[in-house]
Amino acid sequence: MGRPRQRGLADLLGRRVLHDLRRGFRDEAPPRRRAAQPAPKPRRAFAGGRSADHPGLPRAARHAGTGSGTAVRCNGQERRCGDLNAINSQEKSKPMNEEQRYLFDLFGFLHLKAVLTPEQLSAAAAAADRYIDGAAEDRPPEFKANGKGHAHGFAFDRALEQLVFLPAVWPIVLELTNGKPMLASGTLMVDDPAIPSEAGPLHCARDDYGFESARYEVRHDRIYCDDFVVFPYLDDVHPGDGGLLVLPGSHKSEFDRPRHLFSNGLIEDEVPQGILNITPAAGDAIVMPECMTHGILPWKPTDRRRRMLVLRYRPHHRQAGPIPDAVIQRLAPETRELVESAHYTHRKDIAGKVRVELG
């Protein structure tokens, strides 16, 4: 008998795997056959460093290249598939800045100061009071109050509607939605001394609906978040007043929150260590992902309100919000486009604008 054959890489990995390793998993022939192969066609550059014919891109996007886009069927209409290079170049002109991106990723929220001008704040506060204090029979039937919440408050008046496109916030909305913004809802919330205030338990989308209900990730040096809220504040909140509670960093937690922590999740007075009570001034805005654990302290002042909008944004391929047609018809064209759902490959006109003015 001859000497036993020594085992090599082909035996350990399999000849096919070894062949792929030698090829380097590339779309080129092995060295010994390279001369017989035709020269590869040049590939068109595409957003994110991929080639335009990368198999991971939708077919319409692969054929879009760097041109003006490919016609696709979207919501029953033929539309142009947006050029992702154009989206990226637009976002790069004024995205989240380096400081905002770091703090949002680290803590899970942004506190943006003085994002409303004094004129915007005055007009929005007056409009909010007309909704809150007005007689129900004088309002359209879609505008209903239910305790603290006033349905579709963003659409009640143009002074409130324009807050969905705040110049300091809009670039953040574009980045977090990957240039595909949609407004799902916009409720006017009020804490009033005349209405008993209760604590809101700690919760987040993952607690309520499961781990798959909200995404947060970083890709190509940009943050992607598919369900987040912007709170423009119309009143000052001072330390000790109550209001919004957050658990910084919880948006990236890999573990479920033990229910006994933080006063069993119901904080009514003293704020436990690790929880933060955010106290914005009138004209400030808070940006927060729904995957971050948050709650509410009871409102304590007896002579002041806390009024704010709760603007919920998502990428436009997700389910549209519960906004009735009668409310949508009241909106400016730009806002009507914002509340529409659309295909993954569609690009809204408003997504190409650094600043959106209502028509």
Q: What is the CATH number of the domain that holds 255?
A: 2.60.120.620
Segment 99-117 mean pLDDT: 97
Indicate whether 193 and 310 sit together in one domain: yes
Q: What percent of the chain has pLDDT over 90?
A: 65
Residue 209's pLDDT is what? 73
Identify whether 359 is part of a domain: no
Identify whether 28 is part of a domain: no
Residue 75 has pLDDT above 70, yes or no: no
Sign of CA dihedral 328, 329, 330, 333: positive
Residue 94's pLDDT is what? 62
Indicate whether 210 and 72 sit together in one domain: no
Identify whether 15 is part of a domain: no
Distance of CA 311 to the CA centre of its chain: 10
From 61, 84, 107, the end of a domain falls on 84
Indicate whether 72 and 117 sit together in one domain: no
Q: Let me know: does 214 contact 290? Beta carbons within 8 Å.
A: yes
Q: Report which of residues 83 and 144 the model is more confident about.
A: 144
The phi, psi pair for 119, rounded to 5°, reads: -70, -45
Alpha-carbon dihedral 195, 196, 199, 200, rounded to 10 degrees: -40
Identify whether 257 is part of a domain: yes
Identify whether 225 is part of a domain: yes
Indicate whether 152 and 296 sit together in one domain: yes
Indicate whether 246 and 117 sit together in one domain: yes
Q: How far apart are CA 175 and CA 100, in angstroms?
A: 11
Q: Report which of residues 353 and 213 the model is more confident about.
A: 353
Segment 14-41 mean pLDDT: 45
Residue 95's pLDDT is what? 78
Q: Let me know: does 63 contact 46? Beta carbons within 8 Å.
A: no
Indicate whether 99 and 69 sit together in one domain: no
Q: Let me know: does 238 contact 279? Beta carbons within 8 Å.
A: yes
Residue 214's pLDDT is what? 82
Q: How far apart are CA 166 and CA 26, in angstroms?
A: 46
Residue with the two structure tokens 């506190």? 111
Sign of CA dihedral 86, 89, 106, 263: negative
Rounded to the nearest integer, the mean pLDDT of the chain is: 81
Q: How far, CA to CA in Å, does 219 sit from each of 116, 117, 358?
A: 30, 33, 32
Segment 92-112 mean pLDDT: 89
Could you tell me which of 63, 96, 98 has the C-alpha nearest to residue 81?
63
Into how many domains does the chain fold?
2
Q: Let me know: does 174 contact 287? Beta carbons within 8 Å.
A: no
Indicate whether 217 and 343 sit together in one domain: yes
The phi, psi pair for 22, rounded to 5°, reads: -65, -35
Hey, what are 339's tokens? 């509340």
Indicate whether 125 and 149 sit together in one domain: yes
Indicate whether 337 and 253 sit together in one domain: yes
pLDDT classification of 352: cutoffs 50, 70, 90: very high
Q: Domain span at residue 147?
A: 95-352
What residue ranges in the chain does DSSP mark as E strands?
71-74, 77-80, 110-112, 145-146, 149-150, 181-191, 200-203, 216-219, 222-225, 228-232, 243-246, 276-277, 285-289, 294-297, 306-315
pLDDT classification of 25: cutoffs 50, 70, 90: very low
Residue 37 has pLDDT above 60, yes or no: no
Identify whether 313 is part of a domain: yes
Segment 67-73 mean pLDDT: 36
Q: How far, CA to CA in Å, does 250 sit from each of 198, 230, 243, 341?
A: 23, 18, 19, 29
Residue 29 has pLDDT above 70, yes or no: no
Q: Report which of residues 245 and 70 the model is more confident about.
A: 245
Indicate whether 309 and 250 sit together in one domain: yes
Q: How far apart are CA 87 and CA 217, in angstroms?
A: 19
List the single range of 137-141, 159-163, 335-339 with lowest mean pLDDT.
137-141
Residue 52's pLDDT is what? 39
Residue 245's pLDDT is what? 98
Hey, what are 350's tokens? 């408003």
92 CB contacts (<8 Å, ≥6 apart)? none
Indicate whether 347 and 247 sit together in one domain: yes
Residue 84 has pLDDT above 60, yes or no: no
